[in-house]
Amino acid sequence: MAPTLHPPLEETTRFLHEQIPLTRAMEVKVESYAGGELTLTAPLEPNHNHLGTAFGGSLSAIATLAGYSLLWLLLDDRSAHIVIRESAIQYHHPVRSVIRAICRTPDAGSVASFKTAFEKAGKARLTLHTVIVEDGRTCVEFSGVFVALR
Amino acid sequence: MAPTLHPPLEETTRFLHEQIPLTRAMEVKVESYAGGELTLTAPLEPNHNHLGTAFGGSLSAIATLAGYSLLWLLLDDRSAHIVIRESAIQYHHPVRSVIRAICRTPDAGSVASFKTAFEKAGKARLTLHTVIVEDGRTCVEFSGVFVALR
């Protein structure tokens, strides 16, 4: 499926670049948001390590950003503050070219419970999973607990 | 104790800046290595998020770098490649000023086993813990499994 770019995605990229300066240094972009999957990309050049592959810190940061951005798009409430509470990441294989982080929307029940809790209590948490894939191979798996606060 | 700066620390900062460009954007510096504790710092300005506190991705990246750098100093073997296999991080409190990440050398037995395994097999793994502290409070706890390869 060709990436679908529409104003909310460009707005999300612009929001990230304006509000989180490291995303400019990393050259992070929102590539697509389709079928419940949000994809962020970043080129290798500003994100490489001493071995010429992607730096673990960049991989962790883009996976965090993918979760954060998906939640921002799901919630669509500018009064919400979204923060990360905890995360775990596994590095299975080095990433050798473009970093592509994909965060999938959880099942509809989890999203509905999250939105209801946020509406009622002004606070809700959701666990999100991000994978970083290259040539059809899962190189990195990330799981993060995000909290939305009014 | 006043920070002790000697050539290996300046060399480590220079190595990070030369080999991992994101560390220049983050303005990471090796502050001290004393009593078995390695301290890295980074200013808030290039590492802030949309709430004006430290970006989770920057916190995760500097914690990873602290572990990586400590292992580099412990091993003191330029033929070694050091990579991170997995990590977990908990964000307890926001960081509002300078980011200060402290990685402690594990107990002597673990370090000796790690060095022996690396000498014999050319491959060894070690779990390292990093904390990010501000005003005497632990804001972030990080645990990472690092692997050294010849």
pLDDT 10s digits, A3-48: 544 557 888 899 999 999 999 999 999 999 999 999 999 999 999 9
Question: Which of A45, A62, A89 is opposite residue B86, by nearest beta carbon?
Answer: A89
> What pLDDT digit, counting tens, does each position of B48-92 carry?
999 999 999 999 999 999 999 999 999 988 889 999 999 999 999
Scan for tokens 């592959």, then name that residue: A53
Give the residue from A135, A22, A121, A113 showing the smallest Cα distance to A68: A22
Q: Is the pLDDT of residue B130 over 70?
A: yes
The one-letter amino acid code at A95 reads: V
pLDDT of residue B6: 56
CB contact under 8 A, A58 and B61: yes
CB contact under 8 A, A83 and B56: yes
Q: Which chain A residues touch B57 with a CB distance below 8 Å?
A: 20, 22, 57, 60-62, 64-65
> What pLDDT digit, counting tens, does each position of A57-86 carry?
999 999 999 999 999 999 988 889 999 999
8 Å CB contact between A130 and A144:
yes
Q: Please tell me the distance in Å from A82's CA to the nearest CA on chain B.
A: 9
Q: Is the pLDDT of residue B8 over 90?
A: no
Concatenate the DSSP letters of all residues of chain A into one string: -PPP--HHHHHHHHHHHHH-HHHHHHT-EEEEEETTEEEEEE-SGGGB-TTSSB-HHHHHHHHHHHHHHHHHHHH--TT-EEEEEEEEEEE-S---S-EEEEEE---HHHHHHHHHHHHHHSEEEEEEEEEEEETTEEEEEEEEEEEEE-
Is the sign of the CA dihedral B10, B70, B43, A43 positive or negative?
Answer: positive
H/E/C letters for each residue in A129-149? Answer: EEEEEECCEEEEEEEEEEEEE
Q: What crossing angle do the helices spanning A56-75 and A108-121 adopt, rounded to 10°?
A: 70
Q: Is the pLDDT of residue B114 over 90?
A: yes
CB contact under 8 A, A22 and B26: yes
Q: Which chain B residues touch A62 with a CB distance below 8 Å?
A: 57
Beta B123-134 vs B81-91: how paired, if at all?
unpaired
Report the predicted TM-score, pTM, of the whole model to 2 decimal places: 0.94
CB contact under 8 A, B57 and A55: no
Question: Which of B19, B47, B91 is opposite residue A22, by nearest beta carbon?
Answer: B47
The ipTM assigned to this model is 0.93
Quote the tokens at residue B70. Answer: 């400590």
Q: First CA to last CA across chain A, in angstroms?
A: 36
Q: Chain A residues within 8 A (CB-CB) of chain B? A: 15, 19-22, 25-26, 45-51, 55-58, 60-62, 64-65, 68, 81, 83-91, 94
pLDDT of residue A78: 80
Q: Is the pLDDT of residue B46 over 90?
A: yes
CB contact under 8 A, B64 and A85: no
